[in-house]
Structure 1
């Protein structure tokens, strides 16, 4: 089994990327972990001992910067993406980063003889579609048709196809590139900005979680530490079993119970804040009207003042739809099992959320 490996994690300062870097920092077969990102995560300075950690500030849309980062690398874990579900950026910008950036990573791997590339895709690359057809217990072999509901999903779908089609392509040294993809769904855990904002919203609403998701809709969740562990394990097993993992896509999963959003949030929030309760249901038509009016006002004010969107119609439609995978393909192909149990995942998430809330409170008090 090869040792002294050099890994490159694009987006290594991001939610999933940071956890991947922390896992790799513990592995004896890793000599160096390179982080390619636009921002340097503060956690990097806290990593002591173990493999060398090298931060490279760069832009995915700049091919020369990507090419320089992959020189001498054995494995690339490509997690970097513009996750813009509120559509604050233009589609051209999202496409340039998510699709064009992935093209640059693939091209650089082929040119620099990097033999292994693992891409962080998304369940959004599969669906839901614009018809809002449920995705109930799908597997990697499920045929699910229709136009992707989210623009983000469209870019991830194209990037995933590029990555998988690159599997087996010849590199400059004559060897072949091995690629595979992992598709997370609802990722929660430490440093999740969405999770923190949902808790703050409940606190500002008299400790009530108001909700827009009907009782007949739900989705799956995965703890970020388990998603990261799946990446690390898959990247290692790609080297040992390229004939098995090459060209494959895997849904991410763990032991987190299947829940509606409001129920999932309440179970976690009440671990450290028993005052949180379920609030009122807001019907689809009412929320659609609120979002539409807000967007109209934002459009009128755009030349003078840019309002930050709080919800989009596609996201509103998304939460009305059931979507989750039911699979054990990752276990069958490379022995994946969750690194953290549901109890551990919940405890770690709640500890972080409690500390993050206290830090915000202190910051406001001092300012």
Structure 2
């Protein structure tokens, strides 16, 4: 019944989770929004296999709907660094996923989809659905703030790793959160359509070229930002190996900050993009924020966050 629903957001203190909580709290069909996050409750950290625990709890407590936040990294790139150009949710792509993060997301997706249709303790049925985010930008995006500070330290030159033809989607955090709100509601209203389905997150961010999106976002915050130099793959690969050697040699005395690794480098330089309208067709999704709004909101936050010597979001990430 509308007005009686209680929603639980696991990871609700995170970058995307915080925006999901904000939007859910504005919906009149929801009675209560609860947040479960290791940031808020440190004892949560002792549970090592989070998705399995959540599914177990759903079955034991007769919670009929679960929407899982995954990532395009669950699909690829694979260890052969094969590109995926403008695929959709039905595009076949095989091979072992390159990044450890992607491997864990793929494992979680598998158990979430296998749990769809399981019996609950009250005799009901569990319905599950998956949303795959990609590169999410917006207010409080730590990676974007780090890049902005680095670019300003380089006198406004935005240097980059990926070849200019590389394609990768970007989506504004507010629209990713809005898609979660709509998908969760539709999973309740039309479980026969959404249960067992996977959806990519998308909006009208205008370019598949991630480099150009980052340039527009940073230059909106600081007009002096310009496209810098391309860093060749071989040069970055050598830097990674050198950092590994230095880290090993100095480990007893000094631990340098984490550095880029080869799997992540391979992912950055590999085209991996999609093109879909499945969410619009299945549950009427339309971006809540236009590209112009998304760009301006992000730029204003970047300017404010970079105005202090050590922005809180960056300090939290580094610690």
Cα gap change, 1:162 to 1:123, in 2 (>3 Å): same
1:59 corresponds to which residue?
A: 44
1:121 corresponds to which residue?
A: 70
Compute the displacement of 1:301 (Å). 1.8
- 1:343 corresponds, among 266, 288, 292, to 292
Compute the displacement of 1:243 (Å). 0.3
| Greater alpha carbon shift after TM alignment, 10-19 vs 307-316 | 307-316
1:23 corresponds to which residue?
A: 23
Compute the displacement of 1:58 (Å). 4.7
Cα gap change, 1:197 to 1:173, in 2 (>3 Å): same
2:273 corresponds to which residue?
A: 324
Distance 2:230 2:311 in 1: 33
Distance 1:262 1:338 in 2: 22
1:235 corresponds to which residue?
A: 184
Matched, 1:291 2:240: yes
Give the TM-score, by structure 2 length.
Answer: 0.94
1:265 corresponds to which residue?
A: 214
Cα gap change, 1:248 to 1:271, in 2 (>3 Å): same
1:245 corresponds to which residue?
A: 194
2:10 corresponds to which residue?
A: 10
Distance 2:194 2:2 in 1: 17
Assess if the C-alpha contact under 8 Å between 1:136 and 1:323 holds in 2. yes
Distance 1:58 1:8 in 2: 18
**1:76-132 deviation per Cα after TM superposition (whole angstroms, max 9, x unaligned):** xxxxxxxxxxxxxxxxxxxx3xxx110000000100000110000000001111111
Matched, 1:39 2:24: no
Distance 1:33 1:125 in 2: 28
User: For 1:305, what is the secondary structure of its paired residue?
Assistant: coil
Assess if the C-alpha contact under 8 Å between 1:9 and 1:17 holds in 2. yes
1:137 corresponds to which residue?
A: 86
Q: Output the aligned Cα RMSD.
A: 1.5
Distance 2:34 2:16 in 1: 15
| 1:164-203 matches, cutoff 5 A | 164-203=113-152
**1:56-86 deviation per Cα after TM superposition (whole angstroms, max 9, x unaligned):** 6651653xxxxxxxxxxxxxxxxxxxxxxxx
Distance 2:85 2:227 in 1: 25
User: For 2:7, what is the secondary structure of its paired residue?
Assistant: strand
User: For 2:188, what is the secondary structure of its paired residue?
Assistant: helix
User: For 2:139, what is the secondary structure of its paired residue?
Assistant: coil
2:315 corresponds to which residue?
A: none
1:85 corresponds to which residue?
A: none
Distance 1:305 1:259 in 2: 40
User: For 1:165, what is the secondary structure of its paired residue?
Assistant: helix
Cα gap change, 1:362 to 1:7, in 2 (>3 Å): closer
Compute the displacement of 1:222 (Å). 0.4
**1:202-237 deviation per Cα after TM superposition (whole angstroms, max 9, x unaligned):** 011111111111122120000000000000100000
**Structure with the larger RCO, 1 or 2 (CA within 8 Å, 6+ apart):** 2
Unaligned segments of structure 2, at least 5 residues: 313-319
| Greater alpha carbon shift after TM alignment, 211-220 vs 234-243 | 211-220
Distance 2:33 2:2 in 1: 15
User: For 1:271, what is the secondary structure of its paired residue?
Assistant: helix
| Greater alpha carbon shift after TM alignment, 210-219 vs 109-118 | 210-219
Compute the displacement of 1:29 (Å). 1.1
Unaligned segments of structure 1, at least 5 residues: 41-55, 63-95
